[in-house]
Amino acid sequence: MLQSTLRRNVSTTVRALRHAPRRHASTSTGSSTSSSYLRWFGRSSAYSTIALAAYGLGSLYPPTLATYISPRSAPPPLHPLDPQHIAQVAQLEDDLTRLPPLVEHRAKEGSVEWYETRPYLHLPEERKVNSLTGGALNGPGKLAIPPLIRAKRDNSEALVFVHVGRGVCGHEGIVHGGLLATLLDETLGRQALLNLPEKIGVTAYLHLNYRAPTSADQWLVVKTRLVEAKGRKSKVAGGIYDMQGNVLVEAEALFIQPKYAKLLDTRRMREMIGEPDDSKEPIDEPSTLPVPVTFPGGATAFGNNKA
């Protein structure tokens, strides 16, 4: 009897000892699992918030590399008579006068040695329709306004300020390399022609070195300089830069005056390139008077050559 009682008490104690740790372990494991879940949820929420914020900022202000990899399609160019385009032209003309490189250059000493001109402003419509840079490339989304040239009176160097739109791209958002070559051929050609006897010449060669992608819808400055002028040959060099001074394209070229140049009427060419009004061989007076030129819709620019 006593043995039965002791056996039951021992069995009860053993069972109690066995079950007590199990209940304690079960409570601890449940609490640990709950804490782990909360930590995981907190981390996931933080990572999700950061990812959404980064995505939102990236969408609003995409990094340059992202725009190259996954470019955004731009809306088609406006009609030339669209009021919105007319307002854009007026805004570009206003922005042109405020460009930091232009403002700084105008403020430098020796500014009297420089003059400014706007090529193509006096180009008649019947000739403009057959001109690449003065006609076909002029308009909404392309070269919306004529370039402004600030050149040295001795024809040794020049700065050409031009705005390129989004309608002249190869890769979406990147200006076509062929357009940049055209701009350099035109601006270097102007530099060379002004140093040829008859102010007319043809491109013998144009060597280009593309240094960086050129984003569309921005202001560019083309810098040109005379390397050597000898007889009927004129060698020039230059490059295209953004407003921060980064070089985008470098170039050098040789222009040659045809042997039959003396038989040609060069007045129109000299008008197109904006020869200064104090040239040794001045163009007819009516083509150099300071006459305001009105764009379609009312935007106005002055086409005079000024010091």
Per-residue pLDDT of the chain (307 residues; tens, 9 = 90+): 545 554 555 455 545 545 555 444 445 555 667 777 777 777 777 777 887 776 666 555 566 555 556 566 677 888 888 888 899 999 999 999 999 999 999 999 888 899 999 988 777 788 888 888 888 898 899 999 999 999 999 999 999 999 999 999 998 899 999 999 999 999 999 999 999 999 999 999 999 999 999 999 999 999 999 999 999 999 999 999 999 999 999 999 999 999 988 887 777 777 777 776 655 554 433 333 333 444 445 555 544 444 3
Q: How many helices (H) and strands (E) does the chain have?
A: 7, 9
Q: 162-182, pLDDT tens digit by residue?
A: 999 999 999 889 999 999 999
Q: Which pLDDT belongs to residue 109?
A: 85
Q: Are strands 292-294 and 233-242 parallel, antiparallel or unpaired?
A: unpaired
Hey, how many other C-beta atoms are within 10 angstroms of the C-beta on 118? 19
Q: Which residue has the tokens 């921060």?
A: 244
Model-wide pTM > 0.85: no
Of 97, 96, 193, give the one whose Cα is nearest residue 143. Answer: 96
Question: Helix, strand or coil for residue 117?
Answer: strand
DSSP category for residue 297: T
Of 245, 248, 88, give the one whose Cα is nearest residue 174. Answer: 248
Question: Helix, strand or coil for residue 137?
Answer: coil
Give strand pairing partners of 210.
249
Instruction: At 268, list the tokens.
Output: 């129109």
